[in-house]
Every structure is written in C-alpha cells, then in structure tokens.
Amino acid sequence: MSTTAAGRPATTTPSDGFVTVPPGLAKVVVTETELGDVRGDEGFYHYRQYSAVDLAEHVSFEDAAHLLLVGHLPDADELGRFGAELGRRRPLPSRLAALLPEICRTTSDSLQVLRTALSAWGGIADLRPLYDSSEEERREAVLSAIAVTPTILAAAHRLQRGLEPVAADSSLGHAADYLRMVTGEVPAEHEARAVESYLVATMDHGFNASTFTARVIASTGADLAACLVGAIGSFSGPKHGGAPSRALEALDEIGSLDRAAAWVRHRVEAGERIMGFGHAVYRTRDPRSEMLKEIARGWDDPLVDLAVGVEDAVEATLAELKPGRELHANVEFYAGVVMKLAGLHPSMFTPTFCVARVVGWGANVLEQARDPKIIRPAARYVGPPAPQPLPERTAGRAS
C-alpha cells in the first residue's frame, strides 16, 4: 500500500508500478500552486495569501486580477496602469466584431458563442504556442483575453435580441463597463459593486474541472486560446457551471414563501437534486454564498425574502428527513439572485461566471506554462486479456 500526494491510501500494483487513486482524482494533489487554495472542511478559500471573501468585499476586479496574474495587490500607480491596460484592450478587434453576428446566428447558447469567438480571436491575434512564447507574451495574451471576454458576451447577448452592441468604455471599471455593455445603461453604483464582488469571489477556486482542463492543455505547450476553449467546454457541463439560472428557475417555480416547505419536502422525498445546494468540496457553508446572501439583502425585494426562506426550508427539511446530512446553499444559489437584481438576464448568469473565471484560468495557464512536464496520466485497462489471436474470419485478410 502506498500513499497519494494528498496523504490518502492508494494501491500500487508491483508488476506495473501504477498508482490507483480515488475516482475523479478526489483530494489527489497533482501539482503545486502559488495561486490559492480551497479548504473545504473549514469553509475557506484564498487567492495567494488573502482571503478571497475579504478581497471580494473590499477590492476591485482590477486589484484582484493583478494579484492573481502579477503576484501582489497593486499600489495606486500600478492599479492605474493595470486598469488602463485592461480598458484599452476591451474593444473587439475589427475582424472579430465582423465575425460575431455570424457566430450568433449559428447558436443561441452564449457559452458556445464565447467558445467559438475566443477560438477565432486566437487566430486573429496570431497567438503563438505557449511553448514558443516568452513570459511577457503570455501575460499580454492573458490580459487581452480577460479584456475581450465581457465584450464578446455582452455583444452576443444584444445581437441575439436584435440590438446593436454597445462599444466598450475604457473610462469605466471592468465590472461596470460589462453591465453597461449588456444593458445599454450605466449601472447604479450598488449594482456595479454587487456584480464586481461576485466576479472577484469567483475568479478562481482550486483545481476545479475547467481549471484543470486549462492546465492539461497548457502543459502541451498549446496557445492560450486552446486552453480557454477547452476550459469553457468543461465549464459548460451542467455539473460544473450551469447552476445559477437553474437555481433561479427553482425559485420562480416555488413562487411564494408559503409554498417553499412543501416544494422542498417533495424534492427531498423524491430524491431529486435541489439546484444551488451542495458542493463537491465544501463540507460546511460555502463562504461565497454567505457573502452573496448579504449583498442580496441590500435590496428590498421579495426575491431576496423568497431565497432566504427556501434556504431555511431546505435545511429544516433535511434536518427532519435526513438527520446528519448537511446540504447548504452554494455560490450559484444567491449568485442568480444578485445578478438578476443587478439587471442581468438569466441567460447571462453562467456567462458572467466566465467573465470572472477567465482570470483564474489565465493565471493557471501562466503558472502551468512554466512547468516543462506534460500532464500525462494513465488509465488501467480492464477489458479482455490481450493479446489474443484474431478471429479466424479476419486472419490473413491483408494478403
């Protein structure tokens, strides 16, 4: 018996030396990172040396992005330069702007649009493979990807509704300009700040499926666009990035507080999943959900009361029907509430997650690109014994 890098039991077959790890690589440490960590048993996560929730509550999108990409929180001069860099890169390249309406005609799914558009952007920007690029070239590419992602999504959202895209405004902060490009109106300060807090809180979150996908691709030396397209492909799966709108749909279905307890009881007794609850890592309350809950309470709106009531009903019903099983609201539950109240359409909830997570994906790509080792695990073959002779009817066919 051997031990995985995470200290968990793992089995080794002496004949081949392979290590068998838990399904899904659960709690298996595959590399080292300086970007942050998720401590699920504690309900805590951080970016570098700072609590991610503290950052979300107190700093701007630009501050947090600088921390992840450069390694430290910027001073006033650094922040000004970094924000200006992001702002000047936010407009779409003319060739991509011309291509976007055609992409939008092929699909109404915003993540598919983003995936296709970023792939095209990689060609238009003539991105070189990470393997052939300098550290500075890689960082410039990541910064450009962070800048154009909200512009692509906002323009696609408007095009799909027969509206003209709104040009980027480099004088605004990243979060405020994103909201303005989506809605066509400069957001109220509390709306922009609410969305900005959400973006900071969701920039990175350990080795989730999409981040790991980006790092696997980066380890091959491919270009940044390939890494981001792969990450978005992983993120589009319902088990990963699709819950904010689904959680809001559940609230719409419940409709009023007096229906919440019965609705929850029916779902629990039927063994159905309640969207927006539970998490693969947290065994206590999701700190992102707790923060967003407080932000949502800044609005005097029946939707907030309904969400809080449903959360209470879920916890009370589980305590009654399944004692000892803890299931708490995750980030998606209150994220949908906050984004709707800030003026975003439900179809933009998961894409808005990408506006944040592209920072984490990019930072992880930069870190992985410094490692010369390709990520190349093995699979244990469990099929029929090999080699076996070919069936008689195929023997000698080549002659």
Annotated catalytic residues are: 279, 332
The token pair at 297 is: 């309470």
Measured CA to CA, the distance from residue 300 to residue 318 in angstroms comes to 28
- Token look-up 């909830």 returns 349
Cβ 63 vs Cβ 55: under 8 Å: yes
Closest CA to 67 of 51, 91, 47, 52: 47
Eight-state DSSP code of residue 83: H
- Token look-up 């952007």 returns 121
Cβ 197 vs Cβ 291: under 8 Å: yes
Q: Which residues pair with 272 in a beta bridge?
A: none
The token pair at 252 is: 């719409």
Three-state DSSP at 339 gives helix
Main-chain phi, psi angles of 36, to 5 degrees: 160, -175
Eight-state DSSP code of residue 132: G
